[in-house]
Amino acid sequence: MKSYHDKQKGFGIIYDDIFFVNGARTAFGKLCGSLAPVSPTDLAIFASRAAIEKSGIKPEDVDQVMAANIGQSSYDAYFMPRHVGLYAGIPQGVPAVMLQRICGSGFETITAGADQITLGKADVAMCAGAENMSLAPTVSYGNRMGYALGRIEFRDFLWEALNDTAAVPMGCTAENVASRLKISRQDADVFGKLSIDRAIAAIERGYLKDEIVPLNSTVFEAEGLKPRKVNLPRKVVNFITDENIRASSLEDMGKLSTTFQKDGVQTAANSSGIVDGGAAAIIARKSFLDTRGLKPLSRVVASATSALDPSVMGLGPVPAIRLLLEMTGLKIDDIGLIEINEAFAAQFIGCERELGLNRDICNVNGGAIAYGHPLAATGLRLSLTLSREMNLRGVKYGIASACIGGGQGNAILFENTNL
């Protein structure tokens, strides 16, 4: 283990013998779609149970539960990490913690779990993240203290969450990146269509079946606890399809008005979709895997987190990935596959240009413009997709990364040890 900290470059760590065993996710439901009534806790339970099963371990093998949820959107949201662990069958004596680094929170569950293993506080960690953006509430802060005459105020919490009050709204940060790097509307639309086309191709060849757990109405039970009843809409049976994905043409995309800035580049078609969904993964120490004869998908080599000007937050992966490469002595040409969350087309293109990336090895199965971006689940989805694809292609190294609201970025380097 070797750690690194620099207030300009960022903070990182190289791990010893920690592995990404396997994972699972739900299909992602479009805004107010099939998953709209399902709490993020239940979405994470679905994914966590599947991740445990796919990893070939038992719930009692888990030593730590790391969970993430950004927009608390259920009445029992305070208990989310604990309830995920309990209803995933993990023993009552195993603690759970909530993590929040906005769009990078899914990655944070992995790095925090790896930190716990490194510190000797665990052999196995379960990492989970879920978001139900459809259930984001309409809020009125201060109602407990009463209202001045005529000053009753309610706001859409989801809409407000997209505005960094210290800088500019999230979409405007993408426009700032576009302006700085001279990214055109055509550039953004071409990339947006590529993301959608790649996702459709992944569906058509059945690629996603191995990572998506089917969802149905059910009851989660745990010994000594009240049952959790999960009701999907009546017509939803065996939910396995990402609802946000739909085919589009450059001509149709070009007809849309820009969303954040007049004469800008970002539209609804080349920005990440607002969706509901959950994801989970198991990470473990090598010695544990050896005793069980388990074969992991990849090794968690190193992680890095950096920060930058909030007004161009979309470039956050740039310093984080640069730090990963510096710490490990690798060059960008050594990386065979890359996943960078597509918050916005201009944001991805900005990172692509700054890092000198080869688009042919980036987001090869599509990204958040197609699938959507359920904030706390995204980093786990990217890590799972990347690790699976590295094995399919025989690639040694891969990096998964995301920009983060407020001006941050985080990244994880994975190694395929199955070559």
Give a yes or no: residue 91 inside a domain. Answer: yes
How would residue 42 be classed by pLDDT, with cut points 50, 70 and 90?
very high
Q: What pLDDT score was predicted for residue 137?
A: 95
Beta strand pairing status for 29-30 and 337-340?
A: unpaired
Which residue in 127, 351, 362, 403 is the catalytic one? 403
Give a yes or no: residue 108 inside a domain. Answer: yes
Identify which of 345, 45, 46, 324 has the alpha carbon closest to the alpha carbon of residue 191. Answer: 345
Domain count, the chain: 1
* Rounded-to-integer distance, Cα 265 and Cα 268, Å: 10
Q: Write out the residue range of the structural domain in which residue 38 sits.
A: 19-135+212-240+273-292
Which residue in 103, 172, 351, 362 is the catalytic one? 103
Q: What pLDDT score was predicted for residue 397?
A: 98
Active site residue 103: yes
How would residue 150 be classed by pLDDT, with cut points 50, 70 and 90?
confident
Give a yes or no: residue 125 inside a domain. Answer: yes
Average pLDDT, the chain: 97
Task: Please classify residue 11 by burial: count the beta carbons closer than 10 Å to its beta carbon, then call 0-12 exposed, 13-18 middle and 19+ buried.
Answer: middle
- DSSP label of 364: T
Per-residue pLDDT for 400 more than 80? yes
Identify which of 27, 81, 74, 83 has the alpha carbon closest to the alpha carbon of residue 50. Answer: 27
pTM beyond cutoff 0.95: yes
Q: What average pLDDT does range 193-212 have in this prediction? A: 97
Give a yes or no: residue 381 inside a domain. Answer: no
Amino acid at 64: Q
Q: Which helix (H) or strand (E) holds 42?
A: helix 40-55
* CB neighbours of residue 325 within 10 Å: 19
Active site residue 362: no
How would residue 143 be classed by pLDDT, with cut points 50, 70 and 90?
confident
* Rounded-to-integer distance, Cα 310 and Cα 222, Å: 43
* Nearest-5° Cα angle at 97, 209 to 19: 50
Per-residue pLDDT for 371 more than 80? yes
CATH number of the domain to which 27 belongs? 3.40.47.10
Q: What pLDDT score was predicted for residue 216?
A: 97
Give a yes or no: residue 357 inside a domain. Answer: no
